[in-house]
Amino acid sequence: MLDLLANRHETLATAESLTGGRLASRVTTVAGASRVYLGGVVAYATEVKRHHLGVPAEVVETHGVISAACAGAMAQGVRERLGADWAISTTGVAGPEDQEGQPPGTVFVGVAGPAGVSAVSLELAGDRTEVQERTCDEAITALGGILRGEEPGLR
């Protein structure tokens, strides 16, 4: 995915909630990530999502922070704030308890790019660590699929 971005001369930013920085770590573990990765925001608290990523209050009130709408707003917010071409975001419930009436494994991944925003809904099984790791896998896969034209939505 990073090579695809580099070949296109495009940049990436991340916004994370349930993954708590794992996605940024996963991206920066790859040699040469600095060619495309600008940075990220770990927005664990709702107030951070709202104030630092610009998630609208009506999204939080109407859909909650564990929603496709919030994932999309997080991705768009970090994209705008860091000036990236692309952004991916993660929000959901890693467990062990329900949150906002959603069970562990309920996850949303947002992708924002030049043509707009999309979100993917996931239902993941496993313990907290497994849910976080799988979420990172799915976020990277979602962006890679869009960049390769395999996924509908952004192009």
Query: Is position 152 within any domain?
Result: no
Query: Is position 86 within any domain?
Result: yes
Q: What is the CATH number of the domain that holds 77?
A: 3.90.950.20
Residue span of the structural domain in which 141 resides: 2-147
Query: Is position 117 within any domain?
Result: yes
Q: d(Cα 106, Cα 104) in Å, to the nearest integer?
A: 6
Q: Which residues, including other chains, have CB under 8 Å from residue 146's CB and lie 6 or more apart?
A: 111, 113, 118, 153, 154, 155
Do the Cβ atoms of 132 and 105 come closer than 8 Å?
no
Q: Which residues, including other chains, have CB under 8 Å from residue 152's CB and lie 6 or more apart?
A: none
Torsion angles phi and psi, residue 32, rounded to 5: 90, 5
* Residues in the chain with pLDDT values less than 70: 151-155
Q: Can you give the pLDDT at residue 151? A: 62
Q: How far is Cα of residue 69 from the mean position of the Cα atoms in its chain?
A: 12
Q: Can you give the pLDDT at residue 150? A: 74
Count CB-CB contacts under 10 A for residue 6. 15
Q: How far is Cα of residue 112 from the mean position of the Cα atoms in its chain?
A: 9
Query: Is position 83 within any domain?
Result: yes
Residue type for 141, please? T
Nearest to 115 by CA among 73, 153, 78, 69: 153
Q: How many distinct structural domains can be found in the chain?
A: 1
